[in-house]
Amino acid sequence: MKVKKTLAALGLGITMLLNTTAYAEVSEGKYDLEKLKEVYINESFEVKMIELDTELLQVQYKDQIKEYRDSKDTVNDAEDHMNGMKALREQSLKDYERAQDSASRQAATKNADRLLMEYIRARSSYRMRVKQDVQMTQSLEPIIFQIAQAEIKKEQSIAKSEYELELDYYNLVRLHRELELIEKDVDNIKKKINIDMTKENLGLLVESAREESEKQLRDFEKQKKQLENSLELALENMKTKLNFDLGAQLKIELEIPNESVPKSYNLQDSISKFKKNNLDLAAMENNVFIKESIFNKVTLAYERIEEWNENQITLKQYEEEQNQIKISEIEFKKSEIQLFNLERKLELYAKNTYYEYQTARDTLVANYLFNNNLYDNKLNIIEANYKHGFISEFEYEVQKQQLNRELRGLEQDMINYVNAKNKMELMLNGIMVTAMN
């Protein structure tokens, strides 16, 4: 890009170097962004905890999960047996209706009563197994899902950690560049004070003008100190995150990112990809499936049998049985509402992320990509004016510093764009990096 040429001509460079004392034994080489991310991931406690938590779950619940999966066959067999007895019972009632004489009806009634009792016993057996299955389903299915999703969760954690480190890295770039600018401001104002003193001695300038410059110098030095402290704090935070040992030397390359062709995204496609890859939504969908499965089983286990309910159980017993169905139904409906609510929140997050990216992209295009010639021309004019003696060396330095600050704004536009793009890419992979309201 032509802006790069302008930066180089201003003596800024695209790559800067921070030489710091770090908390690790490192090689003599420089640490660029990719190498820093590699170290950070290797030292990531979150990634290690995901691995350990998954291994712990596998060990703790290995036998229970095996027992649970084996019990599914028993529950299914009990359900098949119950449904079989129910079908035979219904057939016996049809036989009774088709009976032509009292002897046939008496035999059909006896058979229907016998099959009713068989069905009741089969349903009681199924109920018992359903109760056990519901308890195991509620406790173990989320764990089974968590184990199954562990590798994806690990990959997403790595991607999120890389994004967070990149934010820290570009914050270092920003602070370092701003410190360079303020240091140049300090140099320039000191030169101006010297010029003011000479003019004052010659009677060409009043004392108050020099005092104003001295006040400006104090303000610049204050800003410089604040930036130095902020930069030191940012560096120390990065050292801690990288788990570096005390006393080693760390050389960090600070490079301004470069994106010549901004990416384009489709909002609807972005929302769909985000939902498809989001683990929280997958877990919630799994929860709805669990609650629906429980509701269906409980409904089947406690459905009303007219002949039996009218003669064999009390009203209280009947209400208790119906409450089992109602409770499972309510829990199922709640899970559906929770799923809908999460989908809505995810959609809001996706839209916010998308339009944050669009804003950063549009700003980059407007201010950075379309201003190459403008800043090159400005620099050429400054250089020509100085070369031909139209401006003094001090005026030359001041004008270059002014252009330098304008270019600093362009650099920040590029950094903002890259950060927004990285956040957008994470979102497409189902990853959130800011909390939802």
CA angle 2, 422, 20 (to 5 degrees): 75
Closest residue by Cα to residue 61 from 132, 121, 146: 146
- pLDDT tens column, 120-130: 899 889 989 99
pLDDT at 210: 82
Q: Look up residue 187 and give its two tokens.
A: 């140099």
Distances (CA, A) of 381 to 5, 36, 127, 401: 15, 40, 89, 14
Any domain includes 69: yes
Q: What are phi and psi of 14, to 5 degrees?
A: -90, -30
Any domain includes 88: yes
Residue that the structure tokens 């208790």 belong to: 320
HSE-CB for 219 with a 13 A CA cutoff: 8
Q: What are phi and psi of 243, to 5 degrees?
A: 60, 45
Query: Which residues constitute the domain of residue 320?
Result: 2-428
Q: Look up residue 398 and give its two tokens.
A: 């001041």
- Calpha distance 221→397 (Å, rounded): 19
Closest residue by Cα to residue 297 from 181, 136, 437, 106: 136
pLDDT at 23: 32
Q: Look up residue 115 and give its two tokens.
A: 């099959």
Decide if pLDDT at 21 tops 80: no
Any domain includes 75: yes
- pLDDT tens column, 209-265: 788 889 999 999 999 999 999 999 998 888 888 887 766 666 899 999 888 778 899
Q: 263: part of which helix (H) or strand (E)?
A: none
The structural domain count of the chain equals 1
pLDDT at 370: 64
Neighbours of 198 (CB within 10 A): 11
CA angle 53, 423, 174 (to 5 degrees): 110
Phi-psi bin for 389: left (phi > 0), alpha (psi -120 to 50), beta?
A: left
pLDDT at 272: 98
Looking at 38-52, 237-251, 390-404, 405-419, which range is the least confident one? 237-251
Are 277 and 349 within 8 A, CB to CB? no
DSSP 7-41: HHHTT--SEEEEEEEESS---SS-B-HHHHHHHHH
Any domain includes 350: yes
Decide if pLDDT at 291 tops 60: yes
Decide if pLDDT at 96 tops 90: no
- Calpha distance 138→141 (Å, rounded): 6
Are 180 and 12 within 8 A, CB to CB? yes
Q: Look up residue 79 and give its two tokens.
A: 């359900």
- pLDDT tens column, 344-402: 999 999 999 999 999 999 999 888 766 767 888 899 999 999 999 999 999 999 999 99
Q: How confident is the model at residue 140 (pLDDT cuts 50, 70, 90)?
A: very high
- Calpha distance 209→246 (Å, rounded): 49
Q: What ranges make up the beta strands (E) of 178-294?
A: 248-255
pLDDT at 146: 92
DSSP 240-283: HHHTPPTTEEEEEEEE----SS-----HHHHHHHHHHH-HHHHH
- CATH number of the domain where residue 72 is located: 1.20.1600.10
Any domain includes 436: no
Any domain includes 433: no
- Calpha distance 349→435 (Å, rounded): 9
- Residue 436 has what DSSP assignment? -
- Calpha distance 51→59 (Å, rounded): 12
- Give the list of residues 6+ apart from residue 83 with CB closer than 8 angstroms, or none: none
Looking at 12-26, 157-171, 253-267, 360-374, which range is the least confident one? 12-26
- Calpha distance 27→248 (Å, rounded): 9
Distances (CA, A) of 200 to 119, 185, 206, 276, 397: 112, 22, 6, 72, 22
Any domain includes 435: no
Any domain includes 323: yes
Residue percentage of the chain with pLDDT more than 70? 88
Decide if pLDDT at 81 tops 80: yes
